[in-house]
Each structure stands twice: as structure tokens, then as C-alpha cells.
Chain A
């Protein structure tokens, strides 16, 4: 919350600074409409932000000023010099209060009412609260003196505030410059590395060179971090805002976030924070219906507000969707006519879509009544102005009774994106990884190709999706001559949830790439979103998937809204766990939990080194422990490896073939016969052993952690605890003890263990044999609920170190 408060203070200050000139200009000419709008926006924004925090006095002041200014905007009142000075007095008071907030002090009480009363067209006529006559007379002085006084007051406070701050502000150009310098350095290093390799072994040079590489990598990542921030940072502040607003308005709202990992320029995040707040306000106030109305129209009583962010090339798209009543185009149009913005004749010529865009006109709203939250028709025009100011765009799609979505497109001048590099026609191309859902080999048994007219379809796991070859899109290959079975299919999911398959010659690697803009003439092709440099310095094009999908008409904008809900319900009902199916070296089918699989590697047999019980594989210059050899011999030539990761350590697991990904929706029947197997599950009616990822990592020498290892006591007399629980607990970083006397950090006990030993432990975790908890039992954990158990263990360890 402190962060947010600091943001609020900084933002309000910036606005105060920026509007300083406007205020002076307005004073000179109170009838200047443009100045009036600017000042109106300022107080409106302050009011909005106050609702977010608990600053009733600020809110009251800004609301009053907003009211008076709204009257002027609507022509109900003439802006005269009395009003100007009253508004200016309020703005000065806001500035003082902001100083107090930053310094963590209370602003001296009183005076607010007089300031508000001064806004009244006839200040000396009754209308002022009569309860505090003495106070108001005293504070009228404050009004008159406040500009000068405020300044004198604010200066020392600001100085104090500055000494607390431990951050500095830098122009982003400087960061860009440094970033570019580091990118150049990386390329120079790669060049040097190539030359060193060609020149053979130079032990004297290699050491320092490696050190240089490490430092360079660190510097590069810190510089990147300087500029980037995850969108999560912005998202994390929204649930609270939504909660407060919905409580205030008597509505129930559920929020859903997607794409919090998308990174955005820090500056850009600050730019969208405010517009986003406005959109949320509008959505909750006007978009979503009350619970009663929702039930009547057959919707779930809880409204849904969904935020989805995607990165596409050098653009971020942020969609804010609600499932409310939608925008009433006709009513909006009627208001536009009433407000004199458009004539009826102009409205009659408009399409519905055009009418919906009226929402961005200044001074227009669909709200029947003005609430304290929004209304009065400000908001969307301000939102659009702000978004366009940063070079973005905003669009709205709505369907009556089904909901509204706002699509924000934000530019990204310099960005690093996670990309998948693919090959086509001997060239490499990059695809933003956020779109990639899955990669499948065309040769796989589960993939069928079909044709419907000229559209090629691929059937994969029961779904038929359109399939395009990259070579065909780029015009370098004739679709008729493509041997589909040799292609690799990249399943792409667009922001609208439409899926299509992109057939490429091969998939190379995951890479973080720096995207640079491309020349307009290349942009016009609609195929590319940017360019990036490969490690060897060669340029590579970044594909613009949204525009390609649009070109081939693979996106259906409206359908996506309707489909989001049922899908979410499905996931709630069915807790399917994704697994990857493969055949081991003995040719038998096995499965591994998909979360463990980081990637699939194919390496030559020479890169594998086996000596006695030491088995290792070398991939990209790193050594990995090699597992899975107990089932058979490695093939000569090329070996397929699954690279498994527990988040900290990586091992590779030899397989003979990677089959498919599948959902494991049934239960896992544990098996203690084979320690390498977690249990057996049914996939498509056939039993498949699931390898025990925790067992694999536990067997590795991973205990090289510093500090004292936390200890955990397991029930001494249980085979289950020894075979199943022990490896899991060890994998979680605990030393296992079965000594009844030893005082351990954690003890795990079984609920059905009647003889509960009273031996000492700081934390006790109790496991029950049934999935459902017994009555009066709300803390035990089902013994195969791995996630719950691991998180309990993790919690215990964190508490221990804290």
C-alpha cells in the first residue's frame, strides 16, 4: 500500500506541476473552455484516486470543485473570477494536503468547508452549513491567504521528503543508450568468443573471458530490469479497487487476470494506471448490473471483470472485459444529439460500431444518474486522451446484454520478449512465446491433416483447428508441395482465444529477444512486428501473429467474449493435471507431470558421458545428470532427452520417443514397488506409470545448500511414510529424522495413528487417509495432496528462518 500511496503522491504532484500553467492561463481568461477541461480532469482524477485510498477530506474537496466545474462545462454556470479563485484555493489546499500525506503528518483540521462554500455562486447568501459559523469566518482568511502560505509551508516539507527517498529519476533516453551499449557489447563478446574458439585453447584468456561473459550477462539483466516491470505490479492493486467500488455500489464482482507476466516499460505502466482505473469504475458502475437484474437475465449473480494482457511484437494489448449489460448504442446516440455533439441526421448514418465509439466523446455518458463513483461523462474521453498521449489506441466492442470489452493497444519502443525461434525456408523467425500453446510433431500419431475447400485443417486431441504453413504465409513455399508429416506444428492461441496451427520446418529454441522497430515498407507487409538480432549478429524477423491471423480471417472478435465463461466453469469442475507421455528406453509408455518438463532436447550420443554410476549429458555447455537409463540402452546417434526442472535444479531424462501431452484427470494409484514411479494413472483407458519427479530430484545430490537444513520427523512405524513420504520431504529440503526424542522443526503425523507421540516439534503437519476431511478436522491434509503438503512444508521452513 505504501508503494501505491507514493505513486499517488508523485502523480498528483506531477499533475499539479503540469497544470500550474493552465491554472494561470485560466485565471486570465475564465471562459477558456480548453483550460477548464484540463483543470476539470485534474480534480476529477484526484477525486477518483481518493476513492481508492481513504482520504475523505481530499475527496470532498475535489468532488466539490468537480461539481462546480461540471456546471460550467454543462453551461449551467458562468465561470467568473470568484469561481476561479475558489477553485484555485481548493487546488492549493490539495497541494498542501499532498505534502502532509507524503510527510506522514495530519493536515491541520478545518477550513475545508469554507473552501467548498466559496465555490457557491453566492457565497454570502445562506446555503453554507450554519453549524460552524465561527469556524468558517476564521477560515475565510485561510482561503485568501492560502496560496502564499501554502507555498511557504510546502517547501520545507518537500525538502524533508526528498531526504527520505533513496531513488533517483533518470531520463529513459539514458537508459536506452546504456541498453544499446550493452547489446553492442554482447555482440562484440560473441564475435570474440567465435574467434577464441577458432584459435584453439588459451587457458590464460579463457578464464578472464568467461568472467567477462558472466558480468556482461548480469549487467544486461539489471539494465533490462531497470526499464521493465511486470504487469502484475499493476494488476495487484486492482482487486482492492474493485472490491471497494463494488461494495459501495452494492454489486458483486469477480476479477480475473491473465498475462500478469507480460512486461511493460515502467513508464508505460504508470501511464495506463489511471486510464485503467477509469475503465474499471465505468465497468462496475454502468457495465455490470446489480445481482437482482443479473439473475433475472439468466446470468450468474456475480459479475465478471476480466483483464487479459498479451504482447505482440512491439505492442501490448490489454483487454478489459465485463459481462454486463453492454453499451446501449441508441441511448448513447440520443444523448449525443441532446448534448448537441451530433445532429440526428449524422447519427442516422452511423453504424452501431461508430455509435459505440461515441462513448469516447467528451461530455457524454450512458449513466442515468450521477453517482459518487463515476458519471457526468468524464472518464472515457480522458482515458482516450491519456492512451493516445502515450502513442496507444483504445477500441471498444460491446454486445447488448452480453458485455463490453475495451481493447488497449500500447506501444513498446524497446522491449525484451520471450520468443520461440522457428525455421522456414532456411530462415529463422521469432514468435512471441505468449501465443504459443503447444508444439506438436506432424509425424505424431495423434495428428491428422484434412482439407475443407482450400482451408487445411489439423485434428489434434479431438479439436479441428485451421492450419497454415509459415512458408505459405511468407509466399516462399507452395502449399501443394508441402510434406505435412515432416513439419512441426506450433499451436497458436490468440488473445481472442482462437487457436490455429502454424506449420514450420523446425523449432529451434526459446530465446529472449530485444525487439526493434522495422522500416514502414516492411511493416506494410503485415507479416512482421519487428526485428531482432541473433547471437551471431544476424537479424531475425519477429512474426506479427495477430495481423497474420487477421489476414487469414482466423479471429472472431465477438465470439471470444461469449466463450470465456463456460470455459472457466469447466476448469473449476475438473482438476485435470497435464502430463507428458513418452516411451522410455525400454519402449514402454510412461508419463511425467508437465510442470516438471522444461524442454525437450535432442543431442548426439557423444555428448553423453557414462562412467560407472556417474551419468551425465552435456547440453549447450552445461552438464546435467542423466536419468532414465535403468530401462535400457541409449540409442546410437541422436538421443531424445526431457529436461526436467524443480525450479532450482535441472536433470535430463532419456526417452526413446516423446508422444504427446495429455490430461490426467483420474487419480494416481500409488505404487511402492518401483521407487522411480509415483503411481499409475489411467490415460485413455490404459494404465500409464507416472514417474516420480520428486523422487528423481531427491536422488540427486541437491543438498548442497548453505545453512542448517530444517529437520522433519516422520512416523517411524509406517512403510508408507518411508517409501512415499520420505523422498518427498527430502526433496522439499528437509533432513528426515525418525528419532522420537529429537526436537525437529516439523513433524508429520498420520491421523489414523492413534498413538500420537508427544515428542517435541515446532510444527506438526497431520495427514489423513481420506480425500475428504472428517468432521471437526479442518487442518489435516490428504496424504496424496502433494501441493498442500509441500506448501505446508514450505511454510514451516519459511517460518523457521524468519
Chain B
């Protein structure tokens, strides 16, 4: 299993997003807020002539919000024909998966359990593989 993964940090934990899903990693400077939208949607940002829906991964996983940071990076993914920017704490490099995603007895904890496809071994140690589709649906959809 040599899938490429984008290694990142979400809510202080090491996580990985399948690199095949990631179109690019961008730095976000300006976000247009959308009043009335769920918390995990921070707003819209523009990448070239495309509007991206910015998702705060930490809130989408059910944790508290992130401190606004000047240098925020996001992974651009497409789900259902819409483009999203997944805002992460840190985005590192692309690494290789050394194992199949596996379940761990006792689960990964609240939030993680829903959004993770399992744990994979990487060169930097065990990492949670994020299910992008679930993450984009947000905590509200999962509760329903």
C-alpha cells in the first residue's frame, strides 16, 4: 500500500488526507464570512476565479474553534462538484502510507471516530486517515 498522503496537523493531532483528493494546498488570507451558515463553515475564499467553501477541520470534528492565525493553510478538495478548502493547523509534506488503514480497539475518540477511515502507518508514525466526504458534511449532518 503505497498511497500518497498529505500529512497535516488537525486539533493538535497528526492526520492525513489522501493526496489524490487534494488539488492543491493554499494559504488563506481573506475569508468572506457567511452569516447564518453552520459554525464549521468559516466562509468563502477565492482561488483564481473559483469560490471555495472554507471548512475549519477542528470545528467539523466537533472540537472548539481555532485561534485566528495569520498563516493558515488549507487543502483544496472537491466533493460533489463543489470545491472546499480544508483549513488545518499545519500542513506538512506528502508522505507514503506504509499500511492499510486499520481500526484500533476502543476507537480513536469522539469526533475522530466518525471522520477517520482508520489509522495508517507512515514514516512519521501512526496517523489518522481523514475521510474527506464526512468532514465536509460537518458535525451537524453527522448528528442527524
Binding site for B on A (CB under 8 A): 180, 183-184, 186-187, 425, 427, 473-476, 516-522, 524-525, 527-528, 531-533, 537-541
- Residues of chain A contacted by B140 (CB below 8 angstroms): 521
Are A538 and B30 interface neighbours, CB within 8 A? yes
- Residues of chain B contacted by A518 (CB below 8 angstroms): 51, 53, 82
- Residues of chain A contacted by B35 (CB below 8 angstroms): 425, 427, 474-476, 527
User: Closest approach, in angstroms, between the C-beta of B28 and any C-beta of chain A?
Assistant: 12
Chain B residue with minimal CB distance to A185?
A: B49
Are A522 and B41 interface neighbours, CB within 8 A? yes
Q: Which of B36, B51, B136 contacts A527 (CB 8 A)?
A: B36
Nearest 6 A-B pairs (CB), nearest first? A474-B35, A539-B44, A539-B51, A519-B53, A183-B49, A525-B36
A538 to B141, CA, bound (A): 28
Are B48 and A541 interface neighbours, CB within 8 A? no
A299 to B38, CA, bound (A): 51
- Residues of chain A contacted by B136 (CB below 8 angstroms): 519, 521
Binding site for A on B (CB under 8 A): 30, 32-38, 41, 44-46, 48-51, 53, 80-82, 84, 136-138, 140-141
- Residues of chain B contacted by A180 (CB below 8 angstroms): 49
- Residues of chain A contacted by B48 (CB below 8 angstroms): 184, 187
- Residues of chain A contacted by B49 (CB below 8 angstroms): 180, 183-184, 186-187, 533, 537
- Residues of chain A contacted by B50 (CB below 8 angstroms): 516
Are B82 and A519 interface neighbours, CB within 8 A? yes
Chain B residue with minimal CB distance to A537?
A: B46
- Residues of chain B contacted by A474 (CB below 8 angstroms): 35-36
- Some 26 contacts from A to B, beta carbons below 8 A apart, are A180-B49, A184-B48, A427-B33, A427-B35, A474-B36, A475-B35, A476-B35, A516-B51, A517-B81, A518-B51, A518-B53, A519-B41, A519-B136, A520-B82, A521-B37, A521-B138, A522-B37, A522-B41, A522-B53, A525-B37, A527-B35, A531-B44, A531-B51, A533-B49, A537-B49, A538-B30
Are A528 and B34 interface neighbours, CB within 8 A? yes
Q: Which of A517, A524, A528, A537 contacts B82 (CB 8 A)?
A: A517
User: Closest approach, in angstroms, between the C-beta of A416 and any C-beta of chain B?
Assistant: 14
Are A541 and B41 interface neighbours, CB within 8 A? no
- Additional pairs, 20, CB under 8 Å, beyond known A538-B46, A539-B51: A184-B48, A186-B49, A476-B35, A517-B81, A517-B82, A519-B53, A519-B82, A519-B136, A521-B38, A522-B53, A525-B34, A525-B36, A525-B38, A527-B36, A528-B34, A532-B51, A537-B46, A538-B32, A539-B45, A541-B34
Known contacts: A517-B82, A539-B51. The answer to whether A475 contacts B36 by CB under 8 A is yes
User: Closest approach, in angstroms, between the C-beta of A482 and any C-beta of chain B?
Assistant: 15
Chain A residue with minimal CB distance to B138?
A: A521
A540 to B136, CA, bound (A): 21
- Residues of chain A contacted by B80 (CB below 8 angstroms): 520
A476 to B50, CA, bound (A): 26
Are A427 and B38 interface neighbours, CB within 8 A? no
- Residues of chain A contacted by B38 (CB below 8 angstroms): 521, 524-525
A589 to B34, CA, bound (A): 43
- Residues of chain B contacted by A537 (CB below 8 angstroms): 46, 49
Q: Looking at B35, B45, B46, which has the most chain A CB atoms within 10 Å of its CB?
A: B35
- Residues of chain A contacted by B33 (CB below 8 angstroms): 427
A735 to B32, CA, bound (A): 56
A473 to B53, CA, bound (A): 21
Chain B residue with minimal CB distance to A183?
A: B49
Known contacts: A525-B37, A531-B51, A539-B45. The answer to whether A519 contacts B32 by CB under 8 A is no
- Residues of chain A contacted by B46 (CB below 8 angstroms): 533, 537-539
- Residues of chain B contacted by A186 (CB below 8 angstroms): 49
Chain A residue with minimal CB distance to B80?
A: A520
Are A522 and B51 interface neighbours, CB within 8 A? no
- Residues of chain B contacted by A187 (CB below 8 angstroms): 48-49
A427 to B49, CA, bound (A): 19
- Residues of chain B contacted by A519 (CB below 8 angstroms): 41, 53, 82, 84, 136
User: Closest approach, in angstroms, between the C-beta of A178 and any C-beta of chain B?
Assistant: 13
- Residues of chain A contacted by B36 (CB below 8 angstroms): 473-475, 525, 527-528
A187 to B32, CA, bound (A): 17
- Residues of chain B contacted by A473 (CB below 8 angstroms): 36
User: Closest approach, in angstroms, between the C-beta of A411 and any C-beta of chain B?
Assistant: 13
Q: Which of A517, A520, A525, A540 contacts B32 (CB 8 A)?
A: A540
User: Closest approach, in angstroms, between the C-beta of A503 and any C-beta of chain B?
Assistant: 15
User: Closest approach, in angstroms, between the C-beta of B61 and any C-beta of chain A?
Assistant: 15
A183 to B45, CA, bound (A): 16
User: Closest approach, in angstroms, between the C-beta of B29 and any C-beta of chain A?
Assistant: 11
A425 to B36, CA, bound (A): 13
- Residues of chain A contacted by B37 (CB below 8 angstroms): 521-522, 525
A125 to B51, CA, bound (A): 71
- Residues of chain B contacted by A520 (CB below 8 angstroms): 80, 82
A476 to B34, CA, bound (A): 10
- Residues of chain A contacted by B30 (CB below 8 angstroms): 538
User: Closest approach, in angstroms, between the C-beta of A520 and any C-beta of chain B?
Assistant: 7
A184 to B34, CA, bound (A): 23
User: Closest approach, in angstroms, between the C-beta of A254 and any C-beta of chain B?
Assistant: 43
- Residues of chain A contacted by B81 (CB below 8 angstroms): 517
Are B32 and A539 interface neighbours, CB within 8 A? yes
User: Closest approach, in angstroms, between the C-beta of B131 and any C-beta of chain A?
Assistant: 16
- Residues of chain A contacted by B53 (CB below 8 angstroms): 518-519, 521-522
- Residues of chain B contacted by A532 (CB below 8 angstroms): 51
Q: Looking at A183, A186, A538, A540, which has the most chain B CB atoms within 10 Å of its CB?
A: A538
User: Closest approach, in angstroms, between the C-beta of B105 and any C-beta of chain A?
Assistant: 33
A186 to B48, CA, bound (A): 10
User: Closest approach, in angstroms, between the C-beta of A372 and any C-beta of chain B?
Assistant: 46
